[in-house]
Amino acid sequence: MDAPLLTVAPHPLLDLGCFLAQWPCPLGELPSPPWLLQLLRGEGEAPLSSDDSVRAAVRDLLRYGGYKPTGRGKPSAEYLLRAAAQGELRSINVAVDVGNAVSLHSGLPVSVVDAARTHGALRVALAERGQQYVFNPTGQVIDVSGLVCLLDEEGPCASPVKDAQRSKTAPDTVRTLQIVWGTRLLGDRTARTVAWYRELLAQLGVGALTPAAIRT
């Protein structure tokens, strides 16, 4: 399985964790096991837990470049925390469920992208002024000006706030790119989060590897 070239633009705060995962069969054929659903409810054993200091550091990461992480534009991990507290965090598919579980407990935003639905070379950089994308099936749009994003040759396709509809997973997805949007303000938290993430994927029978090249 060849890994795509991923380039990362210089950023004083970003501590990126990313790797590819090869699923044993299409996601539509893989139910989430009970232990994963338990983690989605904010229960079960997890090596990490979020708190106000983690949320503040993630918001500082998103603010670099001029983006305002408030209201509907706040970090995705904060949405998950609220949904779990209200009993509203639902299963989507096993790839998204494990990413959401890791994000919920670590406090770091996580993107899960269908690698086959991206186009050309991938890079992580601040979105330019006016860049935006559709993020749900109803056609709602998010303006990501100044926000650190994953971009392909068509533009931004994922971010610590919302992922683009065009690159999201589907029942036929077999290979995903996972991105943990960590910050250097939190020490080794990204490395610990990625290590746990890969452990959970191994329990699901998933082969995972780091992208072939990351240039900064």
Rounded to whole angstroms, the Cα distance separating 171 from 19 reads 20
pTM above 0.85, yes or no: yes
Residue 107 to residues 44, 49, 86, 137, 147: CA-CA distances in angstroms?
Answer: 16, 7, 17, 26, 18
Residue 214: pLDDT band by 50, 70, 90 thresholds?
low
Residue 54 to residues 22, 34, 49, 100, 191: CA-CA distances in angstroms?
Answer: 30, 28, 9, 16, 15
Pinpoint the alpha helices (H) of 52-130: 52-63, 76-85, 94-106
Mean pLDDT of the chain: 94
Parallel/antiparallel/unpaired status of strands 132-134 and 155-158: unpaired
**What pLDDT sits at residue 71?**
86
Q: Is 200 helix (H, G, I), strand (E, B) or coil?
A: helix
Rounded to whole angstroms, the Cα distance separating 123 from 4 reads 10
Model confidence pLDDT, tens digit, residues 49-61: 999 999 999 999 9
Residue 216: pLDDT band by 50, 70, 90 thresholds?
low
Residue position matching structure tokens 């507290």? 85
pLDDT at 213 over 80: no
**What pLDDT sits at residue 1?**
41
**Structural domains in the chain?**
5-215 (3.50.40.10)
